[in-house]
Chains A and B, each alone.
Chain A
Amino acid sequence: MLKYIIQRLLAMIVTLFMIATITFFLMHAVPGGPFASEQKVPPEVQKALEDKYHLNDPVIKQYFDYMSGLIRFDLGPSFKFKGVTVNSLIQRGFPVSAKLGIFSVLAILVLGIPLGVIAALKHNKWQDTCVRFTATIGITVPSFVIATVLLYIFALKLRILPSFGIETWKGYVLPVAALSGYSVSFVARLTRSSLLEVFRQDYMRTARAKGLGESKILIKHGLKNALIPIVTVLGPLIAGLLTGSFVIESIFAIPGMGGYFVNAISNRDYTVIMGITVFYAAFLLIMIFIVDLIYGLLDPRIKLGK
């Protein structure tokens, strides 16, 4: 087991290294740079700026400089925010995004999975139809539309929730609803179909033939089997939710990572792009790793490290 974990960690480092390399060269292949704005800057000033940030060095040298920083977890200074390092930018933005994300993950656990269970238990009854209908809307309607509609109803018409900011708990309600709408719906549908599949299995009939109660059959025999595909999607879904959504963060004026990331791309803020990409990739890899570990716990047929 320990050997397996070490192997996986090494593989993750290799993957991260490749992601960083590809992103670095793709980014530099795009024309323009952080200081090439519409505003005409005197050539001497631009040159001085570029020299300061070593942008006139050959790309290969810049690459090795960056990578040697990365190894020391130094993501470099931001080109656009004077005197701010990328590390501090992530330290500032990530907790905000993550807090929003954690609430969304909770929404998946307390809403998505139970709704899917109810729909499966009441297969083809009105409860099932309701869940399926709402979940289909949640999956197909983009989050910014959901956000706008929610804002219109709850902030503008009913005036019970604020339209921006996360100073109080009330501020979280709308962004979390808009952010988690898709994931909750997706997980509800997946739970439903996964459970319906499990209900048809022979071992469920065996459990019934033993005289077990329906709730025991559902929880002990049904859910543990049905959870396997759900856990698969939960990993990347959680990584995506925790690292922030640009759309939701800009609609609700939340200073999270998503906003920094998108702005960095339009600004060609090289170090910020690199830093957030590597951070997001590392996070995703860790989540996938955790999913694999949970697999091993759920299904004894999956032997890790063999």
Chain B
Amino acid sequence: MEDNILEIKNLSTSFFTHLGEVKAVRDVSFSVEKGKVLGIVGESGSGKSVTALSCMRILQEPGRIVGGEILFKGEDLGKKSNKEMRAIRGNDISMIFQNPMSSMNAVLRVGDQLTEPLMEHTSISKKDAMKRAAELLSLVQIPDAEKRLRAYPHEFSGGMRQRAMIAMALACDPELLIADEPTTALDVTTQSQIIKLLSDIREKLGMSIILITHDLGVVAEICDSVVVMYGSMIMEEAPVDDIFHNACHPYTLGLLNSIPVVTGDSKNTRLEPIPGTPPNLLQPPPGCPFAPRCAYAMKVCTEKAPQNTQISDNHRSMCWLLHEDAPDNFLKRGNPIVR
């Protein structure tokens, strides 16, 4: 209990649109250990970002948390007043976003935006806040920090903006940093720099990180454990090594198979995509959301939602194939897809 900075229990979030209730997050539970990096992976629309926004309680209308608990250091954030929540946002939990181009306000100076969380959460003077902002910019390896504070976001490159966003998130020494696809909008070289920066900062400051991504390479680099989401539910949760070497869910295996492998061999380099499209969350299928695309789907998969199967202490997977009554138990047989 004390080891977990954040515990999500049975979280459900829906968007109440004109067409009906879109169940963006269904019955999601996971926890983040102190000082560890948790990766949430999954394709677009699987509910990764909505889970993160729910944790911060900054969902936009018509999104609403419809059930579950978000325990931050043992306290349920869902029960906090808006004012209490504001004192936590940007202070104890902070967040960085996918698109650094549009996530900074173009009409305000970088320094102004950097000092905002400091001015909001501490009683620091404007001058000291600026000094601290310059330190933060140096921390994220932006040279000439003091001069850069006077610049506007459009004078920064994409990578620099994401660095500045990280600096902004670090301003009040948060205990938990939620990074929502921090590298998706950046080019490959910048991506690896940002990931390196995140892992350096984690070591230096010792905070916990939730890293949302659809890049398994990024996961392999810095995550300690991984949650795989699909169709607004968690498919598998495991330590990072287990995900890569002992994945038990057909969807996780499908994801692993769609990673391009660079080899000298010109043959056999075609990607293996998962056929089909994600489910419509307005009317999610009654069974496993992945069943329509799953090569191993059985009758029960389309009828009843699978239960969690605990594979080891910290590895669980939600798949009927792992049920002891399943004809061809994955666990007994080993992975059907050999890489």
> Counting CB contacts under 8 A, is B91 at the interface?
yes
Query: Which of B86, B87, B104, B152 is in CB contact (< 8 Å) with A206?
Result: B104
**B289 surroundings in chain A (CB, below 8 A):** none
> Counting CB contacts under 8 A, is B48 at the interface?
no
CA distance A299 to B97 in the complex (A): 23
CB contact under 8 A between A221 and B105, given known A210-B120, A301-B152:
yes
* Interface of chain B: mostly helix, strand, loop or mixed: mixed
CB A229 to nearest CB in B, in angstroms, measures 13
B106 contacts A208, C-beta separation under 8 Å: no
B103 contacts A206, C-beta separation under 8 Å: yes
CB contact under 8 A between A203 and B116, given known A209-B58, A220-B108:
no
Number of interface residues of A (CB under 8 A): 22
CB contact under 8 A between A210 and B116, given known A220-B108, A299-B106, A300-B106:
yes
CA distance A73 to B72 in the complex (A): 74
CB B83 to nearest CB in A, in angstroms, measures 9
> Counting CB contacts under 8 A, is B56 at the interface?
yes
**B106 surroundings in chain A (CB, below 8 A):** 203, 225, 299-301
> Counting CB contacts under 8 A, is A201 at the interface?
yes
CB contact under 8 A between A201 and B102, given known A210-B120, A211-B117:
yes
* Interface of chain A: mostly helix, strand, loop or mixed: helix
B107 contacts A298, C-beta separation under 8 Å: yes
A213 contacts B154, C-beta separation under 8 Å: no
CB B165 to nearest CB in A, in angstroms, measures 7
B135-170: contact bitstring with A at CB < 8 Å (1 yes, 0 no)?
A: 000000000000000001010000000000100100
Query: Which of A202, A212, A299, A301 is in CB contact (< 8 Å) with B116?
Result: A212
B107 contacts A202, C-beta separation under 8 Å: no
**A203 surroundings in chain B (CB, below 8 A):** 102-106
B103-133: contact bitstring with A at CB < 8 Å (1 yes, 0 no)?
A: 1111110000000110011000000000000
CB B175 to nearest CB in A, in angstroms, measures 14
**A202 surroundings in chain B (CB, below 8 A):** 97, 99, 102-103
> Counting CB contacts under 8 A, is A92 at the interface?
no
B105 contacts A206, C-beta separation under 8 Å: yes
CB B6 to nearest CB in A, in angstroms, measures 16
CA distance A278 to B271 in the complex (A): 70
Of all chain A residues, which has the CB nearest B86?
Answer: A211
Q: Which of A168-205 contact B (CB under 8 A)?
A: 200-203, 205
Q: Which of A213-247 contact B (CB under 8 A)?
A: 213, 220-221, 224-225
Of all chain A residues, which has the CB nearest B61?
Answer: A123
B250-281: contact bitstring with A at CB < 8 Å (1 yes, 0 no)?
A: 00000000000000000000000000000000
Of all chain B residues, which has the CB nearest A208?
Answer: B58
Query: Which residues of B are at the interface with A, using a C-beta cutoff of 8 A?
Result: 56, 58, 60-61, 86-91, 94-95, 97, 99, 102-108, 116-117, 120-121, 152, 154, 165, 168
Query: Which residues of A are at the interface with B, using a C-beta cutoff of 8 A?
Result: 123, 200-203, 205-213, 220-221, 224-225, 298-301
